[in-house]
Structure 1
Amino acid sequence: MTVTYYQPAAIADFHNQPRRPLVILLPGGGYEFYSDRENEIMALQYLAQGFAVAVVAYRLRDDPPVLPTALYQLANVVGEFHRHAATYGIDAHKILLAGFSAGGHLAALYADLWPTLGSAVNADPDDLAVSALMLAYPVIGLRLGWPTSEAELQEVTAGWTQHEADLLVTPQNPPTFIWATREDELVPITNTQHYVAALREQQVPVTEIIYPHGPHGMSLARAVTAFPRSFDSRDLAFGEHFIRPDVAGWFPRHLNWLAARWNLTEFWLQQ
């Protein structure tokens, strides 16, 4: 496992090094690779808003099984930031776990199971909590359309049974922001719908945005993260499918949601 840590430089005019909220970022890639469209470029979006960011390169299918090792890896990362918050200059009570696609599956499972992971990673359970969850077009249950083969399923789970995130939600799940598109051709919208229903049943605060159009893996839904037309020579308009101004609104809406939940205006001013 590799963790890439980003921290904005302090603003010299302020004469102090502020504590920062932390984003722990899990790119997608089908547990096969880490999508660069959801990796550093997403970290930089949060960095520009004053957040520190840790991008986690979790266990992949080339070293099977993914689970539960990837969960334990993530727990160790969260625990490290809790225990050494002062060293990293972050506020351990303002940790956002953000996951895309398969990274969203790992994030959702972690949000469900963190209270039970302390013994597996020799940590105080209180050091494993995250304060909020952001999921973008996430895989939620491995019975809900992805993966499409038994071989892939075995590479992810090898028989480990706690992989249906919508069936593991408890009242201890963190407040959640989740978005997806109805046209997602790889991860059916039923994944998001099942998780939202489970969160609401457990009375966990959830904000859900379902956009009508757009393929899987839209990232920022802007040209900078769109595949070029040459990626699919059969479709000269391929790149345009990943550019949608309505979907691009997810990131500022997510930031506003987070600012309201964490009262970030006062957080910055009181330092």
Structure 2
Amino acid sequence: MKVSKRTLGAGDYRVTVTYYQPDPIADLHVIQKRPLAIILPGGGFTFYSQRESEIIALNYLAQGFAAVVVDYRLADQPPVLPTALYQLGTVVAYFRARAVADHLSPDHFILAGFSAGGYLAALYADHWSAPFLTQALGVASDQLKVNALALAYPVIGLRLGWPSTAPEREAIAGEWPYHEADQLVTAANPPTFIWATQTDELVPVTNAQHYIQALRAAGVSVQSTIYATGPHGLSLARAFTAFPKSYDAADATFGAAFVQPTVAHWFADELDWLDQVWNLTAFWRNQ
């Protein structure tokens, strides 16, 4: 595996990514084309959660994907929107242009977002072909397309319970009006996998529910699961992504709720869904 930092674009659209590229499997006597997972970690637009960054990329790599983690604009350089969408478009267009050189399959790009990163992913899935995006980046809309969307406990609209204060909302959207992702869904949205928990204490589950409803109304293929329990920010919902007892000396029990065996099936479920949407068995076998 090769890991590289790449800085793409210029000016306000400049963006740093970490690219994870698997080595070819010599036994196969062919350099495989690989799907690409474009990962947007959460962090409330104040940081990038490492529990939703490399560890997620490595899970995709274990399934044969290449992966890229995007350091999109944060709220310390307000407003986040629409600049973060231009940055994301820059990333998608770059890897589409590099598909041959990097042995990527341009028909198998999945955008995977968590929490605040899920908000950007959902907005991008709504806007990818919009003239404001294609004109700003100077590329055709087909160079900005993603072929699937995966959302984990996403923010969907700034009116739906997160963030809780006007200054926080202002730092994210400023005066840009096109920021309610469920109200912007069209039939051009990619097939979507989405999950959340009923007891999410930070981003109300109504966010995911609104987006699911909008996708279905637009005729977009969607697979969704709302789990009964689990806090916000579960990541893989396994012990190694849960906060250890030493994380909070005053509360050794903090972190236990981040181990949710039922929820932990979500990544395998996403891969099963992708196998259906993309027919991954045929994709690999026909190379």
Q: Tell me the TM-score range normalised by the shorter chain.
A: over 0.9
- Which of the residues 145, 155, 160 maps onto 2:176? 160
Deviations 1:186-235 (A, max 9, x none): 00000000000000000100001000000000000001110112333443
**What residue ranges of structure 2 are gaps of 5+ in the alignment?**
1-14
Deviations 1:75-109 (A, max 9, x none): 01111111221011101110000000000000000
Alpha-carbon distance between aligned partners in 2 of 1:4 and 1:233, rounded to the nearest angstrom: 33
| Aligned partner of residue 225 in structure 2, secondary structure | strand
**What residue ranges of structure 1 are gaps of 5+ in the alignment?**
none
One-letter code aligned to 2:63: Q
One-letter code aligned to 1:267: F
Which structure 1 residue ranges, 4+ long, deviate > 6 Å from structure 2?
A: none
Structure 1 stretch 27-36 or stretch 75-84: which is displaced more? 75-84
Equivalence map 1:7-22=2 (5 Å): 7-22=21-36
One-letter code aligned to 1:202: A
One-letter code aligned to 1:32: T
- Which of the residues 180, 185, 204 maps onto 2:196? 180
* Residue aligning to 2:111: 97
Equivalence map 1:77-226=2 (5 Å): 77-116=91-130, 117-226=133-242
Alpha-carbon distance between aligned partners in 2 of 1:81 and 1:92, rounded to the nearest angstrom: 8
The answer as to 2:54 corresponding to 1:40 is: yes
One-letter code aligned to 2:98: H
Alpha-carbon distance between aligned partners in 1 of 2:95 and 2:252, rounded to the nearest angstrom: 45
One-letter code aligned to 2:255: G
Structure 1 stretch 225-234 or stretch 54-63: which is displaced more? 225-234
1:237 Cα shift? Answer: 1.8
Q: Alpha carbon RMSD of aligned pairs, Å?
A: 0.9
Higher fraction of helix: 1
Alpha-carbon distance between aligned partners in 2 of 1:115 and 1:128, rounded to the nearest angstrom: 7
Equivalence map 1:243-262=2 (5 Å): 243-262=259-278
Alpha-carbon distance between aligned partners in 1 of 2:21 and 2:222, rounded to the nearest angstrom: 28
Query: How many pairs were matched up?
Result: 271
Alpha-carbon distance between aligned partners in 2 of 1:242 and 1:145, rounded to the nearest angstrom: 22
Scaled by the length of structure 2, the TM-score of the pair is 0.93
One-letter code aligned to 2:233: G
* Residue aligning to 2:70: 56
1:65 Cα shift? Answer: 0.9
Alpha-carbon distance between aligned partners in 1 of 2:198 and 2:250, rounded to the nearest angstrom: 23
| Aligned partner of residue 128 in structure 2, secondary structure | helix
| Aligned partner of residue 86 in structure 1, secondary structure | coil
The answer as to 2:252 corresponding to 1:230 is: no
One-letter code aligned to 2:71: A
Alpha-carbon distance between aligned partners in 2 of 1:194 and 1:232, rounded to the nearest angstrom: 34
1:236 Cα shift? Answer: 2.5
* Residue aligning to 2:3: none
Scaled by the length of structure 1, the TM-score of the pair is 0.98
